Amino acid sequence: MRRLIIPATLAAVTAAMFAFPAPAERAVVIPAASRDVPAASGLQTAILAGGCFWGMEAVFERVKGVRAVTSGYAGGDRATANYAAVSTERTRHAEAVRIVYDPRQVSYATLLRVYFSIAHDPTQLNRQGPDTGPSYRSAIFPQNAAQRDVANAYVAQLAKSSAYSRPIVTRLESGAFFPAEENHQQFYDRNPTHPYIVRWDKPKVAAFKAAFPTLAR
């Protein structure tokens, strides 16, 4: 299911039609990861996929220590890394975000905790909310061996916990990341009245701030 990018005036009118309260969204209470990537100097990068990149970007942009978030496509080829092609669900890409962060302020394992707790639902297979297809899959793209080890261990740790009523379907994958078109970048902030943002992403951002007040900025 593809999201429509509609003019701001039309978005405002449409949002008014959906003026009923958005469904409450809550972070899933999960333990912190028992392992983390060793401390490193300099900025680090994480790439995570979990449904519509608009909401993922909006959440991680509000995490202290995150310096930049870019929406894009991961897991497929450069030639088809564009919205029209990915929309066919035949390119192997996942909508993803590239997160550049300062490990002195926020760790990789902490980013994963936000990812699993509120940024997306890791129990939904090839979908998130109203969006369906493999481009909306739950996937982690580790950037090095240390990230892969920590992500593997955390998925196993969460699978053994009682946090979720359904199995975790998150996969660890490899592949390049390609930035999405400019109109997808910072979509949440530039289109606050867009009906998709109002219905799905604003409750998610509010839930993040409520669940992780010390991480939110």
pLDDT tens-digit profile of 116-158? 999 999 999 999 999 999 999 999 999 999 999 999 999 999 9
The sign of the CA dihedral 24, 129, 206, 183 is: negative
The sign of the CA dihedral 190, 74, 201, 46 is: negative
Overall number of domains in the chain: 1
- Residue 217 within a domain: no
61 noted as active-site residue: no
For the chain, give the mean pLDDT. 91
Q: How far apart are CA 59 and CA 18, in angstroms?
A: 22
pTM assigned to the model: 0.90
What is the token pair recorded at 14? 């449409």
Asked if residue 135 lies in contact with residue 122, where contact means CB atoms within 8 angstroms, the answer is no
- Residue 117 within a domain: yes
Find the CATH number of the domain harbouring 23: 3.30.1060.10
**Residue given tokens 């990812």 in the structure block:** 115
Can you give the residue range of the structural domain that contains 43? 8-211
- Residue 1 within a domain: no
Q: What is the pLDDT along the chain (217 residues), one digit of tens a residue?
A: 455 554 444 444 344 334 334 445 789 999 999 999 998 889 999 999 999 999 999 999 999 999 999 999 999 999 999 999 999 999 999 999 999 999 999 999 999 999 999 999 999 999 999 999 999 999 999 999 999 999 999 999 999 998 999 999 999 999 999 999 999 999 999 999 999 999 999 999 999 999 999 999 9
Neighbours of 180 (CB within 10 A): 23
Q: How far apart are CA 112 and CA 74, in angstroms?
A: 17
- Residue 203 within a domain: yes
C-alpha distance from residue 14 to each of 20, 27, 185 (Å): 12, 27, 22
Catalytic residue among 15, 37, 47, 52: 52
pLDDT tens-digit profile of 64-78? 999 999 999 999 999
